[in-house]
């Protein structure tokens, strides 16, 4: 049905070889024949088949964007969508296609994620929304397929990552709180198994340490990065240590939940307890009071992940671990 290179060759009275060369900018085709071929091609609405091209060239220019469990990760759209945008913008500007992959897809089809990718001859994968203890993670790390993870600090021959410098980010948030004079500072962390969680905890403790304050285990509680989680975590925290004067949350969403609880029990923010979040997600700007937070360059993470992957593919650079600096965004909650 679609018009092929043979059609335009016939119409232009040349061989398919010449058409191919004219299209790919070779210099051994006469200027008038080239013009004629291009004109004929335009008239016929010829579009070279990417799949035929992929077959003979043995490269698809197609890279996968793996979102662990798409449906289950819907709550994380505040983070994931921006990363996606960065990945796609960069990749497509470099001439690559990006196809969506989800672990659920693979499970339904009863093929492993890596089988899915090799069947489609994907040249690489960018992985996000996955936890370190996800059973798929091992597959990703051990695969020969070049990949780069977002917030997944796993390094191997074919696997790099980009993430925020979470220990310094957390330190930044804490230093701000400490500078305001707070001494009893609660910390609501995310999943214990999330890579970012261990780093943010480190940053929290380091900041306390260099301020000469001993870390109190009662002040630390784990949750799930989401609003409801932040709410119950805050309740727990306040019941354990009622005299805290500030809380540092490992995500803006949890901070929102926390503030909701604090409002409910009549605590004023920031007078009674100061709050800082993590992520710099749009919701934080709209909350009352507007949320002080540690910003994460989500879009850039996507861009850099794309760059690293392409570096591996085109200039076979070694994969590495790229850390993006965080920045403190001070608003009304502190």
**Binding region for DNA (CB under 7 A) out of 40-48, 79-87, 195-203, 222-230:** 40-48
Among 24, 71, 239, 316, binds DNA (CB under 7 A): 24
Taking the complex as a whole, how short is the minimal distance between the CB of residue 121 and its own copies, in angstroms?
6
Between 78 and 184, name the residue whose CB sits nearer to its own copies.
78
Residue 292 falls in which region: left (phi positive, over 0), alpha (psi -120 to 50) or beta: beta
- Residue 156 contacts residue 318 (beta carbons within 8 Å): no
Pick what 35 binds: its own copies, DNA, none; C-beta below 5 to 8 Å, kind-dependent.
none
Pick what 263 binds: its own copies, DNA, none; C-beta below 5 to 8 Å, kind-dependent.
its own copies
Taking the complex as a whole, how short is the minimal distance between the CB of residue 30 and DNA, in angstroms?
3
Q: Kindly state whether residue 21 participates in binding DNA, applying the rule CB under 7 A.
A: yes
CA dihedral 88, 89, 93, 97 (to 10 degrees): 10
Between 46 and 136, name the residue whose CB sits nearer to DNA.
46
Pick what 85 binds: its own copies, DNA, none; C-beta below 5 to 8 Å, kind-dependent.
its own copies
Among 13, 144, 268, 286, binds DNA (CB under 7 A): 13
Pick what 144 binds: its own copies, DNA, none; C-beta below 5 to 8 Å, kind-dependent.
none
Query: How far apart are the C-alpha atoms of 323 and 153, rounded to whole Å?
Result: 10
Angle 329-194-74 (CA atoms, 0-180°, nearest 5)? 75
List the x/- string, 45-74, binding to DNA by CB under 7 A: -xxxx--xx-xxxx----------------
Site residues (vs DNA, CB under 7 A): 2, 4-6, 13-18, 20-21, 23-24, 27-31, 33-34, 46-49, 52-53, 55-58
């Amino acid at each position: 049905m679609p018009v092929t290179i043979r059609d335009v060759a016939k119409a232009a009275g040349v061989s398919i070889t010449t058409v191919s060369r004219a299209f790919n900018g070779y210099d051994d085709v006469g200027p008038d024949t080239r013009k004629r071929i291009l004109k004929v091609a335009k008239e016929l609405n010829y579009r070279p088949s990417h799949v035929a091209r992929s077959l003979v060239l043995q490269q698809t220019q197609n890279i996968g964007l793996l979102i662990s469990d798409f449906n289950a990760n819907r709550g994380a759209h505040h983070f994931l969508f921006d990363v996606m945008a960065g990945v796609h913008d960069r990749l497509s500007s470099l001439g690559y296609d990006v196809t969506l992959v989800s672990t659920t897809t693979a499970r339904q089809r009863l093929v492993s994620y890596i089988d899915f990718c090799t069947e489609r001859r994907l040249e690489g994968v960018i992985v996000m929304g996955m936890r370190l203890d996800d059973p798929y993670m091992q597959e990703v790390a051990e695969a020969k397929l070049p990949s780069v993870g977002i917030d997944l600090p796993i390094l191997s021959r074919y696997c790099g990552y980009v993430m925020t410098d979470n220990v310094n980010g957390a330190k930044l948030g804490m230093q701000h709180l400490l500078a305001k004079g707070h001494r009893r500072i609660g910390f609501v962390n995310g999943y214990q198994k999330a890579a970012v969680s261990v780093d943010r905890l480190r940053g929290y403790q380091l900041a306390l340490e260099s301020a000469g304050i001993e870390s109190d285990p009662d002040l630390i509680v784990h949750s799930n990065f989401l609003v409801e989680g932040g709410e119950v975590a805050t309740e727990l925290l306040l019941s354990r240590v009622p005299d805290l004067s500030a809380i540092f949350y490992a995500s803006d969403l949890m901070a929102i939940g926390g503030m909701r609880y604090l409002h409910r029990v009549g605590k004023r923010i920031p007078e009674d307890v100061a709050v800082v979040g993590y992520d710099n997600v749009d919701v934080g700007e709209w909350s009352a009071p507007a949320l002080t937070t540690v910003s994460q360059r989500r879009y850039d993470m996507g861009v850099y992940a794309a760059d690293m992957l392409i570096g591996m593919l085109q200039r076979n650079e070694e994969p590495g671990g790229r850390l993006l600096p965080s920045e403190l965004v001070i608003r009304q909650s502190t």
